[in-house]
């Protein structure tokens, strides 16, 4: 198991992670650090714990909004798939109807040929 030291709000934190995940964890910590710094500039230093909590809540809110959007897109995709399936079924129905008409036309031609 690997360890990585990240800097958030001017403090070092040593964290364990799976081998190969160090770069990803560092990028996540940098993202949190930038959010904490942005929040610190707007509300001032209100203490590390409160600042981290506020940043966490903001990120959690953004994640919730993103998850809602993902659900909306999944519903749109499902609706589009259902519409495609309906069009495919309608097309199959049209093909079957065309075959019935063609068969009927052939029978009519055969009857007409016998009458002549």
Q: Which of 73, 70, 72, 40 is nearest to 55 (CA)?
A: 40
As beta bridge partners, residue 85 has: none
What CA–CA distance (Å, rounded) separates 30 from 28?
A: 5
Q: What is the DSSP letter of 21?
A: -
What CA–CA distance (Å, rounded) separates 89 from 112?
A: 34
Range in 44-48, 64-68, 82-86, 87-91 with the lowest mean pLDDT:
87-91
Give the pTM: 0.64
Q: Give 81-116 pLDDT, tens digit per residue.
A: 888 888 787 777 787 888 888 888 888 888 878 876
Q: List the end-to-end C-alpha distance of the chain, in Å, as a whole number.
A: 91
């Amino acid at each position: 198991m690997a360890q990585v030291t990240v800097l958030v709000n001017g403090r070092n934190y040593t964290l364990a992670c799976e081998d190969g995940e160090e770069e990803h964890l560092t990028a996540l910590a940098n993202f949190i650090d930038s959010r904490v710094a942005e929040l610190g500039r707007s509300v001032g230093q209100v203490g590390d714990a409160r600042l981290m909590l506020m940043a966490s809540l903001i990120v959690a809110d953004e994640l919730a909004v993103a998850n809602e959007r993902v659900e909306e897109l999944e519903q749109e995709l499902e609706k589009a798939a259902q519409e495609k399936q309906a069009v495919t079924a309608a097309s199959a129905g049209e093909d079957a109807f065309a075959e019935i008409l063609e068969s009927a036309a052939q029978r009519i031609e055969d009857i007409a040929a016998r009458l002549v």
